Amino acid sequence: MAIIEVTNVSKTHDDVASGRKVRTLDTISLSAKENDFLILLGPSGCGKSTLLNIIAGLTPYDSGVGEVRVGGQLVTGPNPKLMAYMFQDPVLYPWRTVLKNVEFGLEAQGIDKAERKDRAFKYLRMVGLEDFAHYYPRQLSGGMAQRVAICRSLALETDIILMDEPFGALDEQSRIILGDELIEIWRQVRRTIVFVTHSLTEAVYLGERIAVFSARPGRIKAEIVNPLPRPRTIGKPEFSQMVDTLWNELKGESLISIKRAKAEQDEIALPHE
C-alpha cells in the first residue's frame, strides 16, 4: 500500500520581485510505498523542497484539484509523529551536547528520560558517534554534525523520513560513507525515506526508485525503478549506465534551469548598469 500519495498537486507562489504568480509545481502525482527509498532528483529551483514541505504539511498546495495523503489521511498540517523532516543544512543547537541534540525531538514527544537516552544511543552507535555523546556541536567536523542531525531524525522512529539534500554540504567521500550508513539503517529499521538530491551518483547509489523532475514548473518527467542489486559499486558499467539514463532525462532540464538563473541574474543586474 502507498504510504505517501501525491495526486495532481500544483503549487503557485507569489513572486515578490515581479508581483506575478509563478507556478512552482505542475500537477505532480507521485507515491511511495512502505519501506520505499524514493529519490527526488531535479535541477535547482524545480520545486523539490516545495514538494517535500507540502508532503510534510508545512506548505499548503493549490486548492481545488489535487490532494496529498500520508498513511491514508489527507495532509492538513505537520504530523511529527508520522514524519521526521531533515532540512537541508540542519542546524544543531550549539548549547546542547550531541546526546541532547538527538534527544530534542523525543523531549517534545514527552518520552521519558531513560528511554530518550537509550534511543539516542542506539542511533549514535549506528553511526559510530557514541563516544562523542557529550561533545558540543562546535567540537565536531561537518560530517559528524551531519550524522548527529541524521540521528536526530531517526531517533524519532517515525514511519516516514523526509530528507532534503542531507549530504549536500559534504565532500564526496563523506557522502558515500554516510550513504552506506543510511542504507544500512534503512535496511535494519525499514522506514520509508524520501530523499532529495541534485546528484546523479547519489540517486543511483541510494534509490530504489528515482523521480526525475523537469525544470520549473516542476513536473515528474520520469519515474525510474533502480534495478541494481545492493551493495552497489560506483563506476561499474551497469552503475554508469543508470547514471547515463538519468542524465539523458535531466540534461535538457538542467540547461533550462541554468539559463533561467542567468537570465534572472541579468534582469536583477540591469538597473545598476
Ligand X SMILES: Nc1ncnc2c1ncn2[C@@H]1O[C@H](COP(=O)(O)OP(=O)(O)OP(=O)(O)O)[C@@H](O)[C@H]1O
Strands of 192-197's sheet in order across: 83-86, 160-164, 192-197, 37-41, 209-213, 220-225
Name which of 89 and 115 has its Cβ closer to ligand X: 89
Task: Pick one of 4, 9, 41, 48: the residue that binds ligand X (CB under 6 A).
Answer: 48
Name which of 119 and 175 has its Cβ closer to ligand X: 175
Task: Pick one of 2, 8, 12, 13: the residue that binds ligand X (CB under 6 A).
Answer: 13
Distance from C-alpha of 68 to C-alpha of 84, rounded to nearest angstrom: 17
Name which of 15 and 118 has its Cβ closer to ligand X: 15
Q: Which stretch binds ligand X (CB under 6 A): 26-34, 37-45, 71-79, 129-137?
A: 37-45
* Partner from ligand X, Mg ion, none binding residue 137, C-beta < 5-8 Å depending on class: none
Could you tell me if 218 and 26 are in contact, meaning their C-beta atoms sit under 8 angstroms apart? yes
Q: Which residues contact residue 60 at a Cβ distance below 8 angstroms, ignoring those fewer than 6 apart?
A: 54
Could you tell me if 59 and 47 are in contact, meaning their C-beta atoms sit under 8 angstroms apart? no
Distance from C-alpha of 195 to C-alpha of 250, rounded to nearest angstrom: 17
Could you tell me if 76 and 21 are in contact, meaning their C-beta atoms sit under 8 angstroms apart? no
Residue 210 cell numbers, joined:
528515482
In whole angstroms, the minimum distance from the beta carbon of 260 to ligand X comes to 9
DSSP summary character for residue 270: G
According to the binding rule CB under 6 A, does residue 257 interact with ligand X?
no
* Partner from Mg ion, ligand X, none binding residue 199, C-beta < 5-8 Å depending on class: none
Name which of 157 and 164 has its Cβ closer to Mg ion: 164
Name which of 44 and 248 has its Cβ closer to ligand X: 44
Residue 211 cell numbers, joined:
523521480
Q: Which stretch binds ligand X (CB under 6 A): 44-52, 93-101, 117-125, 204-212?
A: 44-52
According to the binding rule CB under 6 A, does residue 214 interact with ligand X?
no
Name which of 48 and 219 has its Cβ closer to ligand X: 48
In whole angstroms, the minimum distance from the beta carbon of 194 to ligand X comes to 13
According to the binding rule CB under 6 A, does residue 219 interact with ligand X?
no
Distance from C-alpha of 64 to C-alpha of 55, rounded to nearest angstrom: 17
Q: Residues in contact with ligand X, total (CB under 6 A)?
A: 12
Torsion of CA 194, 199, 204, 205, to 10 degrees: -90
In whole angstroms, the minimum distance from the beta carbon of 192 to ligand X comes to 20
**Considering Cα of 221, then 50, then 31, then 36, what sign does the dihedral take?**
positive
Q: Which residues bind ligand X (CB under 6 A)?
A: 13, 24, 42, 44-50, 198, 216
